[in-house]
Chain A
Amino acid sequence: MDKKYGAYICTGCGIGEALDIEALTQVVTGEMSMECKTHEALCSKAGRELIENDINNEGVNTVVIGACSPRVMREEFDFGDDKITVRANLREQVVWCQPEGAGADFTQELASDYMRMGCTQAKKTDLPVPFKMDVINKKILVMGGGIAGMTSALEAARAGYEVTLIEKADVLGGKALGWRKQFPTSAPWSNLEENSIADLVNAVNANDSITVKTTTEVARISGAPGDFGATFKAAGTKGEWDAPFRVTVDEQDKIDKGQMDDPNVGMKKYTEANPAAEKFGSVVLATGWTPADVSEFEHLLPGNDKVVTNAQFEKLAKEGKVPARVAFIQSPGGEEHDKDFPYCNSVTSMVALKQANYVREDNPDGKAYVLYQHMRTPGNMEMFYKAAQDNDGIFMTKAAVTSVEEQGASLIVNAKDTLLNEDISLEVDMVVLAAGMLPATIDKASINLAYRQGPGFLDLDLFDGYADSHFICFPYETRRTGVYTCGGVRKATTMAETIDDAGGAALKAIQCIESADRGVSVHPRSGDQSYPEFFFQRCTQCKRCTEECPFGALDDDEKGTPLPNPTRCRRCGTCMGACPERIIGFKNYNVDMIGSMVKSIEVPEDDDDKLRYLVLVCENDAYPALDMAAMRRKGLNNLVRFIPVRCLGSVNVVWVKDALSSGMDGVMLLGCKYGDDYQCHFVKGSEIANKRMDNIGETLGSLGLEPERCAMKQVAITDFNKVPDMIQEFVDQIDELGPNPFKGF
């Protein structure tokens, strides 16, 4: 594309008053040799017309806008997919964030640098071209024929998609087949309902768009969204197309030396494609849960025949064998802790209430005791709780159940710290323990992908084994693009929650297929047309990109050369940050582009009052936090230059070197929290960046530069009031070190 540039500076929102616009224009026209026009309100109709006239009459196709933050006025400054628009943030990051009494020259220099960076970015940006697959498969594979899977299949079918539903048992229905009744699903939310699973099974069987395969399992799924290849097998069997286990480089080394058995003997390599595989566009994983084992809680007599789990009690209730006096124990911690049984979430609270109702239904003088540490009845289920509480024969108390003893034909339940303000014992005929719901992914891959990074999801220990990626920000998504989870495999859910979940997962699966079809990213950068491109001639097969990609988008060949799967990619750029050869880049976001922007910053020599700091800011949370700080007129140090990045994972250490070698005095990375409760939109980006910064610190040390000149800080989007101080702290720290000794070289 032949670029014709046009730069525009807005003088509204206080920009015109705070800056010498004449001088700023000269920076653009002079140093950057671009046409530059100003307007008092670029976002207004007249302002837009000014730009559109140049586009239409002068042939401008690359627009640099020096105005407000790129996070606002997106529609106003959208001139179409065939135009490049670059925003220089003069309002939030220059004018609105000036500390009190800031020297005018400082502010002016800051603005000039942002215009330089904007113009440089415009020069280094190309229009992205969407990645189009040759063939797209729009069928959806749903794994698991329980409530979640069947609902998901129905929702997808109703939306016009072909669905294949596989179930390992010989009938559809899953766990719900064994339930006597189900929770209320509509007002007044107080009465149990007849089990409706048969209706759901019938609806699935009657739907022409759904192909049901029972007693079937997935051996392996290879490929990528829009082109998954699923190999099926009879449930419970093994075969050569089973998904191979992950073998790390070290393990492979041991296998080669004969120190370790190859776990994948007799299995096809993960890169091998099964010609018989069935093609799908995306997958919904609804492989559910199994009741947890409670035998470890010995003080509750788990071995006694009158002590059962909630799952066993449901079966007894269905058979009509409900005794008159039953204690429901929700929390096994006794006096040690108040945790509920593991993996219970809120479901077991409501199950206890349901089963307490059975006790009352089946016995005129039935007494059901619910002994809990937590009673969790979210949403309208509060009404169900109230109704149970109102039942004459249902007795509830918070309690630390210390022991269960056998006494003749009865059981004695002893409890402390009850609401009755005394230690109580109850004589009952049966004790029901609120066993939790273990996700299918807790001990096996379940999804069985033939990926380089292994058959399962990564780091599920962060979610106690549930197949999840980020519960709050990205529900249904997993670490594998194109695979969406719902129901018990994602979280211990009730039927109603599962149904909601299933609809969500089906919609995600559809979104994925349609995005793949358009050649754009699914999430979280929905609609992004760019994708990473590799300059393979210079690849050294170091495998960093294939290892570090948080989403397993890159497979590799025998030698270790990456095999990209653009539809699996989320466009975070972690591969680009990882690549030591700098051969990975996007059309509109690459190593050269950011590096050039860094180098375009003017670094004064021999002026100790005008040190320069570079802060690479994650655009997801940290950048908005900076904008929010500016909107609240919190001063930001005006020696600092901010450059937004897609994710800290995309930060290539060469940018740090670029900054320091051009004389800047310090480089900071601002990104999301990582670790157990990470907030990184790309899961691993900020964590990886942190490791890289540790490593670069060592390198700097060997060059005679203080490692403290580089730092990484974690911020949440809500930290806007702390960010200015965090930055100031970093600046002060480097002030003590003095200017970069390489300044001027």
Chain B
Amino acid sequence: MSEITRVEPDLKFIKYLKSAGGDSMKKCYQCATCSVVCPLATEDNPFPRKEMIWAQWGLTEKLAADPDILLCHQCGDCTAYCPRGAKPGDVLGAIRAYAYTHYGFPQGLAKLCSDGKNLPILIGIPVLLIGILWMISGGMHIPDVETFREVGFGEFFGHWDFHWLTKNVFFIDLIFVPAFFFAAFAVFKGASTMWGKMSESLDPNPDFRPSAKQYVGDFFVPAIVESVKHTRFNECGVNRDRVKGHLPLLLSFIALFVVTTYSFLRKDLFSLLVSEEMRTILHAPIPQADPFKVLANIGAIALIVGVGLLWIKRSRDEDERGTHATFYDWFLIGLIMTVGVTGLGAELVRLFGIPSFAYFLYFIHLVSVFMLFLYMPYTKFAHMVYRIVAMAFEKYRESSFVKPAGAE
């Protein structure tokens, strides 16, 4: 490298990293033990050693454009072997947290999500939004036990006689469909900016560019398959038992996604095609014997168990290994736990027939699910997108579109 780089450390960035779990990062003295144990490091790419000094020197741009920070699954080997207690794994976590904020769109919301001090606002927004809509919907009263047993939460947002679309579904869609698309757009924008930044260091072959089909088929689909299979997690050393929590959690998300999709189809589409009587049945709670309901229940339990295991592991790491407790990590664990517990809780309480408590739980459930959607692009949850993008990028980087065949 003959080009001289003007280096200007960003003190605010350093301060942020230190507060977000990277408090130990300045301890690194570049011995490269981490790069020796890290499966991601190659001879030319001393990872995470170089990231450590970039972090120490506050070089934000370099870190943000580095796909490796997202390829890291925090297996913990580097942290376990670090002779100085610099905990590179934890530092990388903090850098990832920073990256989500860095690429977050819109920036204001992203920044809001990066600091635990804003938690009241973060909770306040959905509480207020859903609360107001609930009020507007006119459904804001506790039903009697009989009605509740029959319709469940089906009339949470009230009832109207327009059968093509229940009032409840209308309001739920009104809240969640925009939130979903907003989040999807935001994360797409962030991830594509990141892809662009990461590509700057590459020297792609100008004659060939992958088609959209190739992007998906060659890079993204294998990346998604790899994530679902937890291939890289299983390569982890110290933190291998994290798979026990993370895998059920991931599968439960898939299951709950399937169930939600089914529920959407059942209540909003199939119901349009059938008779009036049948429609009432379809609009009522799904019976427990329905295979999708079974899947939903299993999913809910898996979700709670998975996140519970991760919760326990994280607490233990904090006690035993001195892992720094961060808002970044606990926000997601807490949120998913809330989603799971209130979801399952609301269902159980519904079956027990206690409408007031059930409504209360259901409200919290809606709030927490909304938070999960809306804040996905800026919180740790964003890793599901950014990491897959980075893994796809890695495949792109290694492909012949960038590296001519036979080149080193």
**Which of A367, A389, A392, A423 contacts B29 (CB under 8 A)?**
A389
Flag if A367 contacts B9 (CB, 8 Å). yes
Contact status A425-B5, CB under 8 Å: yes
- Which residues on B sit within 8 Å (CB–CB) of A419? 30, 53
Interface 1/0 per residue, B1-22 and A, CB below 8 Å: 1111111110100110010000
Measured CB to CB, the closest approach of chain B to A382, in angstroms, equals: 10
**Inter-chain contact A424/B18, CB cutoff 8 Å:** no
A414 located at the interface, meaning its Cβ lies under 8 Å from any Cβ of chain B in the complex:
yes
Which residues on B sit within 8 Å (CB–CB) of A422? Answer: 1, 3, 5
Tell me which residues across on chain A come within 8 A of B54, comparing CB atoms.
420
Q: Are B29 and A427 in contact (CB under 8 A)?
A: no
User: Which residues of chain B are within 8 angstroms of A393 by Cβ–Cβ distance?
Assistant: 9, 11, 14
A346 interface contact, C-beta 8 A: no
Known: A420-B57, A423-B2. A390 touches B7 (CB 8 A): no
| Chain A residues whose C-beta falls within 8 Å of the C-beta of B27 in the assembled complex | 386, 389-390
Could you tell me the distance in whole angstroms from the C-beta of A247 to the nearest C-beta in chain B? Answer: 55
Within 8 A of A (CB), among B2-61: 2-9, 11, 14-15, 18, 26-27, 29-30, 46, 50, 53-54, 56-57, 59
Say yes or no: is A365 at the interface (Cβ < 8 Å to chain B). yes
Q: Is the beta-carbon distance between A391 and B30 smaller than 8 angstroms?
A: no
Q: Which residues of B contact A425 (CB under 8 A)?
A: 4-7
B9 touching A395, Cβ below 8 Å: yes
- Chain A interface extent, by class: 20 to 34
Evaluate contact between A424 and B5: CB separation under 8 angstroms.
yes
Q: Please tell me if A537 contacts chain B, counting CB pairs below 8 Å.
A: no
* Chain A residues in 8 Å Cβ range of B5: 420, 422-425
Closest chain-B Cβ to A120's Cβ sits at a distance in Å of 62
**How far is A426 from B8 in the complex, measured between Cα atoms in Å?**
7
Which residues of chain A (391-430) have a CB below 8 Å from chain B? 391-393, 395, 397, 414, 419-427
Beta-carbon contact of B6 and A395 below 8 Å: no
Assess the B26–A389 pair: CB atoms within 8 A: yes
- Nearest B residue to A398 via CB reads B30
CA distance A420 to B46 in the complex (A): 11
Contact string, B49-89, partner A, CB cutoff 8 A, digits 1/0?
01001101101000000000000000000000000000000
Rounded to whole Å, the gap between the CB of B62 and the closest CB of chain A is: 9
Q: Which residues of A contact B57 (CB under 8 A)?
A: 395, 397, 420
Alpha-carbon distance between A410 and B290 when the two chains are bound, in angstroms: 74
Instruction: List B contacts of A423 (CB < 8 A).
Output: 1-5
Distance in Å: Cβ of A372 to nearest Cβ of chain B: 12
What is the minimal beta-carbon distance from B76 to any residue of chain A, in angstroms?
22
Closest Cβ–Cβ distance, residue A422 to chain B (whole Å): 5
Chain A at the B interface: mostly helix, strand, loop or mixed?
mixed
CA A419 to CA B15, docked complex, whole Å: 21
The answer to whether B14 touches A392, judged by C-beta atoms less than 8 angstroms apart, is yes
Within 8 A of B (CB), among A309-357: none
Interface positions, chain B 252-267, Cβ under 8 Å from A, are: none
**How many Å lie between the Cα of A386 and that of B26 in the bound state?**
9
| Closest chain B residue to A421, Cβ basis | B50
Cα A204 to Cα B54 with chains together (Å): 50
Q: Which of A365, A390, A414 has the most CB of B within 10 A?
A: A390
**Among A386, A392, A393, A426: residue with most chain B CB under 10 A:** A392
The residues of A that contact B3 with a CB separation of less than 8 Å are 422-423
Point out the residues of chain A lying under 8 angstroms from B15, CB to CB. 392
Q: Is the CB of B11 within 8 A of A392?
A: yes
Residues of chain B with a CB closer than 8 A to A392's CB: 11, 14-15, 18, 26
A367-B11, A397-B53 known; A424 and B6 CB under 8 Å? yes
Bound-complex Cα distance A390 to B14 (A) = 11
Greatest chain A CB density within 10 A among B3, B8, B26 is at: B26
Per-residue interface assignment for chain B, residues 237 to 276, with 1 indicating a CB less than 8 Å from any chain A CB and 0 otherwise? 0000000000000000000000000000000000000000
Query: Separation in Å of the A357 CB from the closest CB of chain B?
Result: 14
State in angstroms the CA–CA spacing of A365 and B58 once bound together: 13
- Once bound together, how far apart are the Cα atoms of A426 and B9, in whole Å? 10
In Å, the complex CA distance between A367 and B11 comes to 9
Per the bound structure, the CA–CA distance linking A395 and B56 in Å amounts to 7
A425 to B5, CA, bound (A): 6
Contacts of A386 in B (CB 8 A): 27
Question: In the complex, given contacts A414-B4, A425-B4, what are 4 additional A-B residue pairs having Cβ atoms less than 8 angstroms apart?
Answer: A390-B27, A393-B14, A419-B30, A420-B59
Which A residues lie at the B interface, using CB under 8 A? 365, 367, 386, 389-393, 395, 397, 414, 419-427
Listed by A's residue number, 13 A-B pairs whose Cβ atoms lie within 8 Å are: A386-B27, A389-B26, A389-B27, A392-B14, A393-B11, A395-B56, A419-B30, A420-B53, A420-B57, A422-B1, A422-B3, A426-B6, A427-B6
Nearest first, the 7 A-B pairs at minimum CB distance are A390-B26, A424-B7, A423-B4, A422-B1, A392-B14, A425-B4, A419-B30
